[in-house]
Amino acid sequence: METLILQKDKLTKLIEKLSSSHVLYGPIEENGFSLFKQIRDFKELNLKYLLTRVPPKSLIFKQTETLFKFIPGRKGTVTSSEINEEKSIIFAIRPCDARSFKILDPVFEGNFEDPFYISKRKNTVLIGLTCNSPEKNCFCTSFDDSPGSTENVDILFTDLDDKFFVEVVTEKGKNLIKSIEDVFEKSTKNDEDSKRNIVTNSVESITRKMDLDGLVPKLDKMFDHELWHNTAQKCIGCGICTYLCPTCHCFDMQDESSLREGARIRVWDSCMYPEYTHHASGHNPRAIRMSRVRNRVYHKFSYFPKNEDITACTGCGRCIDYCPVNIDIIDVIEKVGVIANE
């Protein structure tokens, strides 16, 4: 793996070069919260953020996306939306958010390929940023991940105070670096040691952990346990835990039309909403909130691991941070372990 150094006084030049050849997205602060938006001015970039409220999955799996337009009637027509093939970069994505795409990929690239997702994914370079100071509810290490992991990014930046340590991971990353290599310098062993020490300290600062050992068979035995009723009594069904989750991928199809034209639009949905499983016949297999709360847990920690051999959680902690009634997924899984061992 090639390693380089970027002096911070050359960051502006780097951003200019990246913006000239790609659509560049990065963390920008608005109204006290960070979110990923297209960078049009270097001064907007906020590299002090930890996590954006809305995960950067929204850049690849759009919250609202028009799939095709139509003109109704006997002589009607259907016009498919153009597949977006623009070259883009997600700059300063955290390793846990980069890992979310590893979980989303089999959903959209599986038996039924989604050309909208696949095209954006293929044409996007992920430039990661190591977490030097994780938050109290971060638990990425529970998934054999790390605040400084290079596993799911093309390039990884680590802040070394006056400079960035840069690791070039994939061919996609190497090709990008070749076009802008004049802004970088060679790294030294001291730089590598500094990065290693930062990651070690970051890992040690993560105090929360989710015990995944034998979790799938444990859940298999307690589908009808009162734990789900007790948890659901607290839940208000707002859907924040799913909308802000970097791995949730539920969506709805909506036809919006006037007398003369219309469009089929895909929008994010949530399994926490009663309408999500409401059948045309009137039947709803998850009519009560308990079954929806239970399904969210089982989908991430039982069904997805069984189907794709990976847990559908990154340990980012957003669902804990933003739940208005303080439902804590780590506590829920801990209770599963206690009950299973009784």
How far apart CA 19 and CA 12 sit, in angstroms, is 11
For strand 64-71 and strand 77-80, is the pairing parallel, antiparallel, or unpaired?
antiparallel
For strand 33-38 and strand 23-30, is the pairing parallel, antiparallel, or unpaired?
antiparallel
How far apart CA 82 and CA 68 sit, in angstroms, is 9
Q: 245 near 319, Cβ under 8 Å?
A: yes
Q: For residue range 270-307, what is the model confidence (pLDDT) as tens digits?
A: 999 988 888 888 888 888 899 999 999 999 999 999 99
How far apart CA 251 and CA 117 sit, in angstroms, is 13
Q: DSSP assignment of 32-73, as one string?
A: TEEEEEE-SSGGGB-TT-S--SS-GGGGTS-SEEEEEEEE-S
* CA distances for 116 relative to 67, 80, 108, 323, angstroms: 8, 11, 9, 31
Residue 70 β-bridge partners: 78, 262
Q: For residue range 120-141, what is the model confidence (pLDDT) as tens digits?
A: 999 999 999 999 999 999 999 9
C-beta atoms surrounding 281 within 10 Å: 6
For strand 23-30 and strand 88-93, is the pairing parallel, antiparallel, or unpaired?
parallel
How far apart CA 155 and CA 177 sit, in angstroms, is 9
Tens of pLDDT, residue by residue, the chain (342 residues): 899 999 999 999 999 999 999 999 999 998 888 999 999 888 889 999 999 999 999 999 999 999 999 998 888 899 999 998 999 999 999 999 999 999 999 999 988 899 999 999 999 999 999 999 999 999 999 999 999 999 999 999 999 999 999 999 999 999 999 989 899 999 999 999 999 999 999 999 999 999 999 999 999 999 999 999 999 999 999 999 999 999 999 999 999 988 889 999 999 999 999 888 888 888 888 888 999 999 999 999 999 999 999 999 999 999 999 999 999 999 999 999 999 887
Q: DSSP assignment of 72-119, as one string?
A: -STT-EEEEPPPP---EEEEEE-HHHHHHHHHHHHHHSSSS--HHHHH
